[in-house]
Structure 1
């Protein structure tokens, strides 16, 4: 076979492969978003400088801002089992972070400080007063950074199973930067993202990391996470690329010692690593209080909402109205 025929054959195979990938990408997008599970009748939007931010506001009283985990599968749905009860005594705000859920998902490099700016601006422009904040997982890092930057915005802080301080201190490398560029490519990058983030992998995360009692896992929770990770033409892949490339990491050890806020950490005690990580924070700032919720892992607010609400009321000094 001449080199011209070989080149033609290779080009045809490559074109066919890319075409198949495109069809698969469109199919995954259709299947993941067809049920519109993220719709919320109370939805509002904040026109932030980097994109529209979905949020909700319920109740009245002292404000509490609930921030979901920094994860492309996460959204304000993470709080749906606790918002109703908390809104009986407080004004409760939830939001979808930029790149997540129903918020816009622009093609940019997502950094920890980008989210520091988002939380700061949201509290200033939407809430407008001193606010208590509850954040899950790695979202706690930019809440702490926001506290360190401006101590007039945030009052008490509750971190739910915060990220490991050592891992969060890791910075981007040449390898991780290359990975980001590959994932950001139009067809091939989207295909790789779809292979890494799909209903099966999300279900595995729920079973292995998020929940202790697998009987408590609801199919709707998995499907909502699946939709959140693909809404808006699978543009969550840009945040995914930034997370995998460590651009959202931040070394918060230096700022912990300069924070005067009351900080509480709630951990799911079914995963021993959660308590070890909480102790890392307490070693940096001994005033931090740690509370455990029995029989839960990463998402106690979803797995055991009654116990979670009880801890919020205790730590935030919330009195029942009944």
Structure 2
């Protein structure tokens, strides 16, 4: 009798679960298809470097600068738009979407910091044909430090905004644990879609600003549009969440022979400015600036002061 009762209940339950799962998968497919149907109207050049079709822009004349954006879901070269426009009045300014971001092609598997360094080396060799000064923010500042260690001939000067490797270093086993789940269909996809909702992305960006009112609505829209774009968007998200490209850059910083300017936002909660104090104790031959009333993105929150400081540093005779 009990077996019959269990059978009577199990069949409808299985059917219900199957219908729910089917509806969830359909929702995920439709949501991702819509995300990839949105047109990105920003103009750029596209060329292949290190096997990746890369979106980049070049503007202005003079000494060459390459600007590297932060790494978070939906990140792109638009982070540098205001600063790039101002700097292009005196310099040749390159902005790019790193592989996996913006309008650039996404690798099929997560990249390490060393692969990004090899990519940047290829970009400079093919596009710039000489050395370049680099401005890099947050996680991309760590990529720039690894790059400086592997290919020092590519670089003139470095402007590093709150490198994350100073405090957190390489991804740990604990960091990497969720990778398989985050890459999985259905469960991983649902987590990806939840974390790339506009409300979640807005909260993430507001934490990167000291004054959330400074968050440009157009920048937010670009982040939302880019976060789900591409066949491997979920993979890029999983790599970010597990810090796959993270590196311990303290050694690279100590060995750095190029002139550098290290900048920190005073209100950067995720990556506190005290790490800059520690860096200054070990490398007094560099330049160090603390920007008041800014957080992780001082180049966006106080563009005028940032551009002025960078211009002075780039033009210094060394």
Tell me the TM-score normalized by structure 1. Answer: 0.88
1:180 paired to 2:183: no
Match of 1:39 in 2: 41
1:293-320 alpha-carbon deviations (Å, 9 max, x no partner): 232111122222111111111121279x
SS of equivalent residue, structure 2 residue 141: helix
- Offset, 1:76: 0.3
Is the Cα contact below 8 Å between 1:300 and 1:308 reproduced in 2? yes
Tell me the TM-score normalized by structure 2. Answer: 0.89
Is the Cα contact below 8 Å between 1:163 and 1:277 reproduced in 2? no
Match of 2:188 in 1: 189
- Offset, 1:52: 1.1
- Aligned with residue 29 of structure 1, among 23, 32, 35: 32
Match of 1:257 in 2: 254
1:291 paired to 2:294: no
1:57-95 alpha-carbon deviations (Å, 9 max, x no partner): 111221100000122221000011111221111111111
Match of 1:210 in 2: 208
Match of 2:158 in 1: 157
Is the Cα contact below 8 Å between 1:53 and 1:95 reproduced in 2? yes
SS of equivalent residue, structure 2 residue 295: coil
Is the Cα contact below 8 Å between 1:267 and 1:275 reproduced in 2? yes
1:16 paired to 2:19: yes
2 CA distance for matches of 1:288 and 1:13?
A: 64
Task: Please tell me the root mean square deviation across aligned C-alpha atoms, in Å.
Answer: 2.4
Matches within 5 A, 1:55-70: 55-70=56-71
- Offset, 1:33: 5.8
2 CA distance for matches of 1:240 and 1:150?
A: 28
2 CA distance for matches of 1:20 and 1:121?
A: 45
Structure number, greater radius of gyration: 2
Is the Cα contact below 8 Å between 1:253 and 1:284 reproduced in 2? no
- Which runs of 5 or more residues in structure 2 are unaligned? none
- Residues 6 and 97 (structure 1 numbering): CA distance in 2 closer, same or farther, change over 3 Å? farther
2 CA distance for matches of 1:281 and 1:29?
A: 43
- Which runs of 5 or more residues in structure 1 are unaligned? none
2 CA distance for matches of 1:86 and 1:180?
A: 39
1:268 paired to 2:262: no
